[in-house]
Structure 1
Amino acid sequence: MAEAMDQELEQQRKKRKKGAEEIEGVVGVSSDEGGDDVDRGGEVMETTGKTGEKKRKGETKPEKEEAETEGVELLQDPLVVFGSEIMMIILNYLDARSVALSLLVSRGWHGVASSDRLWSTKCEELWLGKAHIPRSSQVRGLSKSTAYSLSVMDGKRDRITKYDLCDHVWEFHFNEAAPEYWRNLDPYWKRTGPPMRRYFHLDGSQTAEPGDEVWGGHESCYSIVTSFVGEGKIREHYVRINRWPRMSVLRKQDWSWEMSNYLFCYSSIPDADNGGTDFPAKLGACPYIGQC
């Protein structure tokens, strides 16, 4: 019985060996001989022999080395390939957000992308057409990238402070709903001269220019009221002059301010229209105004 089983197993081994030889004959390649094989991409590969190494048929050694060299060049850092000066020119064509992201690439990129020469241009583009440039961005010794960031954050602010009031000159005029007597005194409605101007001071007072018929030399003070609800959200925010109706506050796209109610309106004058100087430096022009 045991001999019969051994014979049967021997016959099965012979059949498997014969089948393997037939398969090798069909493929035309043995494990010990050279020949051609086909890779999964359908290209003919040349088998070198026992080592099993394959290379693309028709590919010479210089071509292979050239392909490898091209691959290495494609992986090189553009900063290394072009240099800092050319990279500075390239980054100058990008928007500010893209330049800011390039700061995170590497130390080398950070050194180029944080250059004041590069961000000075970005700041000029941002400030173009803006009524007011934030004082926080004009601090001496501040990097231009930081100045840009501070300017963007300040431009999104819609809550006015007393420093905003005191830092600008304000045009004042009555609205159409105001009494006709007041409008007849207002050059804005009579079109007989420039609009009236108002000045705010850190001590809480407000003044006007000499000869202002509407002002009349009376005392005036202002207050800023802000109330909050849960999670720091603003419920109310307004400015009040004496006991006159409260004025709502609006921040415009050019970063100027407007405060108004149904009787009158205040509009901040762009810095460029003030001769390029800030209001506190011009306070001496008005005899009623002390240092802000």
Structure 2
Amino acid sequence: MAQADELEDQSSGQNAVVLGDEEGKRRKRRKRGGGGVQQPMARDPLEVLGRDIMLKIMSKLDARSVALSLVASRGWHAVASSDHLWAPKCEELWHGKAHIPRVSQARGLSRLAAYSLSVLDGKRCRIMKDDLCDHAWEFHFGKGAPEYWRNLDPHWGGNGLPMRRYFHPDGSQTADPGDKVWGGHESCYCIVTGIVLGEGKIREHYVRINRWLPLYVYRKQDWSWEMSNSLYCYNSVPDAYKEGGTGPLFLVM
């Protein structure tokens, strides 16, 4: 009798272990998705929603987010590179800018390429002859200039329009008629750019007019230019309205 009870106890223990294992397996299945029911596979939103709806969604995104989706797949690239998306983003990028780069206005260029080239050109700090000649420049003396010159400058006296200077492709520079400071003398300019050999980095970069002090070049956030030294300063006059853009035709770094 005792032996029978012992066998019964062993059988009950084994059943408990088996039941415990089954319960453990069920719990694992529930964690994975439950009861062995197959979970639906994630589907590409582009396939689910279609091109037109995805275009509307992407139009609400910023340019960086749309650009990131270009590498998702060929289908996503086809949608995310659409001119319908990038044309308004180009207008948004150019809004409030002093100059629109000519390199972004080439005929037949996609709006995505126009946006990318505009961003790259907006970071350019190396001024070119096209930049000098395409813009009118406001000129004024700095605090370090002699008082006699500053007294002739409307910028300091507040009694007239700003003086303007103009650069020409033949290397000459002129002013408006009646400019009290200009004096009618002949003027020429050159652009000096020093490159570190083997590295391609700019060592020095300035514009020189006649034998006067070098004008060091700065690029502002609105893509306008400033050239200045301790005596005087040049600022490019905004001309975003110019058809075809301004500056070099090819991307310059």
Two-structure CA RMSD over aligned residues (Å): 3.1
Residue 3 of structure 2 is aligned to residue 38 of structure 1: no
Q: Distance in 2 between matches of 1:123 and 1:194?
A: 33
Instruction: Name the residue aligned to 2:13.
Output: 26
Instruction: Name the residue aligned to 2:233.
Output: 265
Offset of residue 142 of structure 1: 0.7
**SS in structure 2 of the partner of residue 28 of structure 1:** helix
* CA spacing shift, 1:24–1:226, aligned 2, 3 Å: farther
Residue 44 of structure 2 is aligned to residue 77 of structure 1: yes
Offset of residue 160 of structure 1: 0.8
Q: Distance in 2 between matches of 1:196 and 1:119?
A: 39
**SS in structure 2 of the partner of residue 212 of structure 1:** coil
Q: Which residue type is aligned with residue 28 of structure 1?
A: N
* CA spacing shift, 1:126–1:24, aligned 2, 3 Å: farther
Identity %: 63
Structure 2 unaligned blocks of 5 or more: 1-7, 247-253
Offset of residue 144 of structure 1: 0.3
Q: Which residue type is aligned with residue 15 of structure 2?
A: G
**SS in structure 2 of the partner of residue 243 of structure 1:** coil
What is the aligned counterpart of 1:167 among 120, 134, 139?
134
Residue 221 of structure 2 is aligned to residue 233 of structure 1: no
Q: Distance in 2 between matches of 1:201 and 1:278?
A: 19
Provide the TM-score with structure 1 as the length reference: 0.72
Offset of residue 95 of structure 1: 2.1
Provide the TM-score with structure 2 as the length reference: 0.83
Q: Distance in 2 between matches of 1:210 and 1:262?
A: 26
Offset of residue 212 of structure 1: 1.3
Q: Distance in 2 between matches of 1:84 and 1:91?
A: 10
Q: Deviations over 1:22-54 (max 9, x none)?
A: 8665343899xx9x9213464799xxxxxxxxx
Q: Deviations over 1:185-226 (max 9, x none)?
A: 211122111101111111111111112121122211101111
Residue 93 of structure 2 is aligned to residue 93 of structure 1: no
Higher RCO (C-alpha under 8 Å, 6+ residues apart): 2
Residue 242 of structure 2 is aligned to residue 277 of structure 1: yes
Q: Distance in 2 between matches of 1:44 and 1:246?
A: 77
Q: Which residue type is aligned with residue 242 of structure 2?
A: T
Q: Deviations over 1:232-257 (max 9, x none)?
A: 22221111111111111111111111
Instruction: Name the residue aligned to 1:139.
Output: 106
Q: What does 1:94-113 align with in structure 2 at a 5 Å threshold?
A: 94-113=61-80
Q: Deviations over 1:8-30 (max 9, x none)?
A: xxxxxxxxxxxxx9866534389
Q: Which has the larger radius of gyration?
A: 1
Q: Distance in 2 between matches of 1:279 and 1:105?
A: 34
Instruction: Name the residue aligned to 2:5.
Output: none
Q: Distance in 2 between matches of 1:43 and 1:160?
A: 67
Residue 154 of structure 2 is aligned to residue 187 of structure 1: yes
1:166, 1:279 within 8 Å by CA — same for their partners in 2?
Answer: no
Q: Distance in 2 between matches of 1:144 and 1:280?
A: 15
Q: Which residue type is aligned with residue 79 of structure 2?
A: V
Instruction: Name the residue aligned to 1:6.
Output: none
**SS in structure 1 of the partner of residue 71 of structure 2:** coil
**SS in structure 1 of the partner of residue 22 of structure 2:** strand
Instruction: Name the residue aligned to 1:285.
Output: none
**SS in structure 2 of the partner of residue 240 of structure 1:** strand
Aligned length: 237
